[in-house]
Chain A
């Protein structure tokens, strides 16, 4: 049972980063970025390239990956999403699908379909109180905690964080208070992209890298964000942990390849019964 909790929390922690990224961009821009899966893939593969082909140690390569995706996300918003902000939300959805398609296949073009792994030293698993903890899981734990702490600090205590929350809360008043929407949006995409990239690295560490990886995570990412209450970024983290644990517990009576179905079932139930998530504030449905 303890092992289940450890594994569940690991899954949940990896999921927390892109779920937070999704909730962040949703809360400020009010649209669900379906390209988030492809940001995860892009981040993983750029990191792989820096790690395996350029020979950088993994932490430095991850930095390269995060920066690349951060910049790409800002660029994509500037070139594509910005022009569609005045249209209906559904148009943005389809556009983000197009972005996702293009990015994922761009990776496939350069990297092919076969799975890869990072160039890291193989380490023996540690043992804590009878539980097996892999080196990768420790890295995941530390990285995610560090990333979440940084994001939380920015969100809660800095001018930028206040500006993000202000725009999410009351965009017209934010403009009156002198907040420059364009710059804040760029910062949001930068953070979102970096978080997604980091998630990609961690997934690659935990399992392997392939161009399909981000797409496979789309459903869990959205479910985690909805669980938390999609407009509340920090609650998305809680949603991710809950989902990770739920998926892990489900392996007791379902085969492991059916984790998607668990995520789907949870999401379906949520949407029918409690669409504002576990921690969100109640709103009106039709």
Chain B
């Protein structure tokens, strides 16, 4: 396993608000084409972790590496340009602009070396998301929740990111739509993009992932293959309602 295949690496992250740490030394490794999902109870620090990875919070200690490059000191915009894509949980499309314009905006202001021209990238994305091809001229705001999520992900992918960070992607979706969504996420992973998710729905999240991380009170309680975590008795008892 070469270093380059380790797309997103966090080492000993200590981060919080106003000097008070919420994360106490969190580390993980996500490899190319893998889906790594962070689960845990409310208040465990999942969103803090996401914000730290995105650059919205500067960690008090620890490092983050993207494709081997240390991005700990980079601003959020710089991280986007370095290859970190992000899909927010809510309000993740431009509702009054068409789907096509949303996709355009995914690329308009990103300065990635070696980025493909818009037309070419658009075709690649539409291969990955054939469902949105007929909707290109539709305003994003009138789409259903599931379709909006797809547009949001497609827009983030336009910039050809190495890593795509997703913030609770199944939130607000019906179980069927959530399953469809995770099918799409698998497709994205298969194309070589690394996926870093935080998920409220433990079973759904880990079911669809390769690797998992259980975060409790800002510490890594469990990490490893997602299937192994799902089988863990304590996880089953605490988060999956026994059985």
A contacting B, Cβ–Cβ less than 8 Å:
yes
> When the two chains form their complex, are residues B109 and A180 in contact, meaning their CB atoms are under 8 A apart?
yes
In angstroms, Cα B80 to Cα A159, docked, is 18
Taken residue by residue from 85 to 127, chain A's Cβ proximity to chain B (1 for < 8 Å, 0 otherwise) reads as 0000000000000000000000000000000000000000000
Interface positions, chain A 144-162, Cβ under 8 Å from B, are 159, 162
A54 sits at the interface (CB 8 A)? no
- Chain B residues within 8 Å of chain A by Cβ, number: 22
A285 sits at the interface (CB 8 A)? no
The residue of chain B having its C-beta at the shortest distance from the C-beta of A156 within the complex is: B101
B12 sits at the interface (CB 8 A)? no
B23 sits at the interface (CB 8 A)? no
> When the two chains form their complex, are residues B96 and A165 in contact, meaning their CB atoms are under 8 A apart?
yes
Taken residue by residue from 166 to 207, chain A's Cβ proximity to chain B (1 for < 8 Å, 0 otherwise) reads as 101110111111111000000000000000000000000000
> When the two chains form their complex, are residues B81 and A178 in contact, meaning their CB atoms are under 8 A apart?
yes
Count, A-B residue pairs, CB within 8 A: 60
Q: How far is the CB of B87 from chain A (nearest CB, A)?
A: 9
Taken residue by residue from 99 to 113, chain B's Cβ proximity to chain A (1 for < 8 Å, 0 otherwise) reads as 001001110111100
> When the two chains form their complex, are residues A176 and B80 in contact, meaning their CB atoms are under 8 A apart?
yes
> When the two chains form their complex, are residues B91 and A173 in contact, meaning their CB atoms are under 8 A apart?
yes
> When the two chains form their complex, are residues B88 and A173 in contact, meaning their CB atoms are under 8 A apart?
yes
> When the two chains form their complex, are residues A165 and B109 in contact, meaning their CB atoms are under 8 A apart?
no
In angstroms, Cα B51 to Cα A176, docked, is 12
In angstroms, Cα B108 to Cα A176, docked, is 12
The residue of chain A having its C-beta at the shortest distance from the C-beta of B110 within the complex is: A178
Say yes or no: A178-B80 contact (C-beta < 8 A), given A162-B101, A173-B88, A173-B91: yes
Say yes or no: A178-B97 contact (C-beta < 8 A), given A162-B104, A166-B105: no
A230 sits at the interface (CB 8 A)? no
> When the two chains form their complex, are residues B91 and A177 in contact, meaning their CB atoms are under 8 A apart?
no
Say yes or no: A169-B106 contact (C-beta < 8 A), given A176-B76, A178-B80: no
Partner of A176, one of B81, B88, B95, B97: B88
> Which of A165, A170, A179 has the most CB atoms of chain B within a 10 A radius of its CB?
A170
Interface positions, chain A 206-233, Cβ under 8 Å from B, are none
Q: How far is the CB of A150 from chain B (nearest CB, A)?
A: 20
Residues from chain A with a CB closer than 8 A to the CB of B104 are 162
In angstroms, Cα B154 to Cα A177, docked, is 13
Residues from chain B with a CB closer than 8 A to the CB of A174 are 94, 105
Q: How far is the CB of A184 from chain B (nearest CB, A)?
A: 10
The residue of chain B having its C-beta at the shortest distance from the C-beta of A231 within the complex is: B96
Say yes or no: A177-B96 contact (C-beta < 8 A), given A170-B91, A172-B91: no
Residues from chain B with a CB closer than 8 A to the CB of A40 are none
In angstroms, Cα B77 to Cα A179, docked, is 9
Residues from chain A with a CB closer than 8 A to the CB of B80 are 176-178
In angstroms, Cα B97 to Cα A31, docked, is 22
Residues of A within 8 A of B (CB): 159, 162-163, 165-166, 168-170, 172-180
Of the A-B pairs whose beta carbons lie under 8 Å apart in the complex, a sample of 6, sorted by A's number, is A166-B105, A169-B94, A172-B88, A173-B88, A178-B110, A179-B109
